[in-house]
Amino acid sequence: MKPIPLIEPIKSHSPWYLVYNWPLFNLGFRALFLIASLWACLGMGLWYCILNGLQPWQSQFPATLWHAHEMIFAFAATVAVGFLFTASQNWTGQQTLHGFPLLLMTLVWIATRLLIVTNAQSLIVAFIGQSMFWLIAISHLSYILLSSHSKNNYVFIYILGALCVANLTFIGLLLLNANQIAVVFTHIALLIFTLLIAVIGGRVIPFFTARGLQLDSQVRSPQLDKWLIRLSTIGIGSYALQFAYPTTLIASVALGLTAILHVIRVVLWFNAKILQVPLLWSLHCAYCATSFGLLWFALSLLIDVGNPKDALHLITVGGIGLMILAMMARVSLGHTARPLVTHWLTNLSFLLCLVAGITRAILPNFIAPHLAWQWSALLWVAAFFCFVLVYLPILTKPRIDGHGG
């Protein structure tokens, strides 16, 4: 199904105090991309201070697990929801969350972040706040896709549902003081994100590459795409079952084969001309980091190939982080009717995030790990700060063509 262009007149001027009528709440990507990118700076900045003993940590939430939770379920998941709200409007032609409901969702998200850090019962707060966020996100996306019979996109309902289950199970285990088991659910969530990247990346990266390089056709590999999703699902499922059944070998093989298919995609999609287009090389590099990080993690389940957490951070920082920057940059330009030409600070943010991923994953093997973690955190903060500098006015101002959205 081809995207349906939604051309609407911009809203007439309304009083400033009617916050839900601000351009920021015209479409999901605006508010959700902005709060997520701000939290990428502030949340990681706070983590850097905690790492260095500059900020005491007294929350009920264990500090390392708070960091994992906020980067996976607060930052990355929010960007994913913002993207899906925006994309589903194109897929179905139906108006997605905007105005007061989007403002309410944003306020729930912000309140949850603040209360987790400041409230004595931070785990209860996290459970309630995240439950509300997921309820709004999944119920709304489900309504849009199901009412439009957009069967090709039902997979995103399942993926968000799986992330919700992983998130709430993680918090529930922390409430039961089962911290070591809870950590596994952050791994499961990251593997679910690799599936999300497989689906979205398979759709947009070849398309964006063909459009960006003005090619006659895009690379297609339908059978490879189907097997990649099947194997990824098997790998995630078997990894999640490891406490009930001895499934480590199955998980390792399935995830390893998935990673190999990802790498084959990287090769098939590559065109030397992408190196001249930041919006393209950033996407390709992010996908490559995800692919090799997943392969590294799959191997680590069976043999000693270094710290599995380093592999996971190659996925999170170099893969998911860079993919998010690249997608937010392109979506924000395209959906505000601006040319798909990036500011030099945006290009710098791509480079900083890529270096942050390599620093976090590779450097701990050569220098003091704590030092590598600090450098990576600072590079990450700098990357998203550059993004915010450029995109704050873009996300908070009306489209330049006078249409709504």
For 163, which DSSP code?
A: H
Residues 152 and 171 sit within 8 Å (Cβ to Cβ): no
* Residues 6+ positions from 174 with CB-CB distance below 8 Å: 61, 62, 65, 123, 182
Examine the pLDDT at 3 and tell me if it is beyond 60.
Answer: no
Mean pLDDT of 24-53: 95
Q: Which of 171-175, 268-272, 349-353, 399-403 has the lowest mean pLDDT?
A: 399-403
Both tokens of residue 208? 């964006």
Position 6 pLDDT exceeds 70: no
Smallest CA-to-CA distance from 108 within 87, 81, 80, 128 is with: 128
Shortest CA distance to 65 belongs to which of 165, 171, 169, 188?
171
Q: Measured between alpha carbons, how far is 64 from 57 in angstroms, rounded to an integer? A: 10
Cβ proximity of 329 and 279 under 8 Å: yes
- How confident is the model at residue 259, as a pLDDT? 97
* Predicted confidence (pLDDT) per residue in 131-173, tens digit: 999 999 999 999 999 999 999 999 999 999 999 999 999 999 9
Task: Give residue 24's identity as a one-letter amino acid code.
Answer: L
Tokens of 132: 């509300």
Q: What is the DSSP string of 307-347?
A: -HHHHHHIIIIIIIIHHHHHHHHHHHHHTTT--S---HHHH
Average pLDDT, the chain: 93
Q: What does the longest C-alpha to C-alpha distance in the chain come to?
A: 62
Per DSSP, what are the bridge partners of residue 403? Answer: 9
| 247 pLDDT more than 50 | yes
CATH superfamily, domain at 19-396 = Cytochrome c oxidase-like, subunit I domain (1.20.210.10)
Token digits for 392?
């704050």
Give the CA count within 13 Å in the CB-facing half-sphere of 195: 27
Give me 213's structure tokens.
């390089």
DSSP designation for 27: S
Q: Token pair 């709440």 is at which residue?
A: 25
Q: Does pLDDT of 8 surpass 80? A: no
Q: Which DSSP letter does residue 369 get? A: H
268, two tokens = 């098939």
73 backbone dihedrals φ, ψ, rounded to 5°: -90, -20
In angstroms, the Cα distances linking 387 to 330, 332, 344 are 12, 11, 10
For the beta carbon of residue 303, count every other beta carbon within 10 angstroms.
7
Amino acid 2: pLDDT: 46
Pick from 12-21, 152-161, 386-395: least confident: 12-21
pLDDT at residue 41 above 80? yes
Predicted model pTM: 0.93
Using one digit for the tens of pLDDT, what is the confidence trace for 69-117? 999 999 999 999 999 999 999 999 999 999 999 999 999 999 999 999 9
Q: What is the DSSP string of 106-142?
A: HHHHHHHHHHHHH-TTHHHHHHHHHHHHHHHHHHHHH
**159 and 192 in contact (C-beta within 8 Å)?**
yes
Which DSSP category does 99 fall into? H
Question: What pLDDT does residue 270 have?
Answer: 95
Strand partners, 127: none
Alpha carbon distances (Å) from 284 to 61, 197, 225, 328, 359: 36, 12, 16, 15, 19
Q: Can you list the alpha helix ranges (DSSP code H) found in 20-98?
A: 28-51, 63-69, 77-92
Has residue 23 got a pLDDT over 60?
yes
Q: What's the confidence (pLDDT) of residue 14?
A: 62
Per-residue confidence (pLDDT) for residue 60, from 0 to 100: 87
Residue 12 DSSP one-character state = P
Over residues 296-313, mean pLDDT:
94
CB atoms within 10 A of CB 205: 24
